Amino acid sequence: MLREIRPTLGPGAQGPDVANLQEALIALGESGYFCSNDPPIPYEPTPPPGGPTLQPTPDQLSKYLKVLRDRRRFQTYDAASEIVVTWFQAQAVLTDPPAVVEDATAKRLNLELRERRLFPEGIQHSIVGQVRKRPSGTPLADILVRASLLTGRDTLRLGDTRLQLGCLLDEFHN
């Protein structure tokens, strides 16, 4: 589950914040955020000195996002993390040192993630079904139903609803 990106992260950093950054970069890549072109073309406007000047090719972008996906369990800010962060910084024309997530990069990452509704509060949940009594199959009435999403070690509470006789379970309230 994505959390806000916190500065400062850079080459050699380790831990859950690095894994969260990698997950954020992957999510942005999957949402179509990154520009890529074959053959590579310059970023417009021109990014600050020190970072890449050419957009990655679609193959390069796909390759490095796959490396992030495969290695995020190690929670290490490695070469793939550096490359994808510099692409992000170049595209967003950020002045943080290349490959280092300081305040400006963290704020822009969080903005892009929020705009794409990639944080848990932006995810809309819909569960449809009917709660029935066993073994007769009679619909239950006046029962509180709580739903949670379990992902690995994380639990995200989706909400509660109270069923009326014969009603379908179709809406949860956070």
In tens, the pLDDT along 84-95 reads 999 999 999 999
Distance CA 31, CA 119 (A): 13
Beta bridge partners of 156: 149
Distance CA 140, CA 117 (A): 35
Give pLDDT, residue 76: 95
The pLDDT tens digits for 93-144 are 999 999 999 999 999 999 999 988 888 765 454 555 556 566 665 656 666 7
Estimate the crossing angle of helix 79-92 against helix 58-71, to 10 degrees: 130
Give pLDDT, residue 171: 45
Distance CA 134, CA 161 (A): 20
CB 36 within 8 A of CB 55: yes
Predicted TM-score (pTM) of this structure: 0.69
Residues sharing a CB contact under 8 Å with residue 121, sequence separation 6 or more, in sequence order: none
Give pLDDT, residue 166: 44
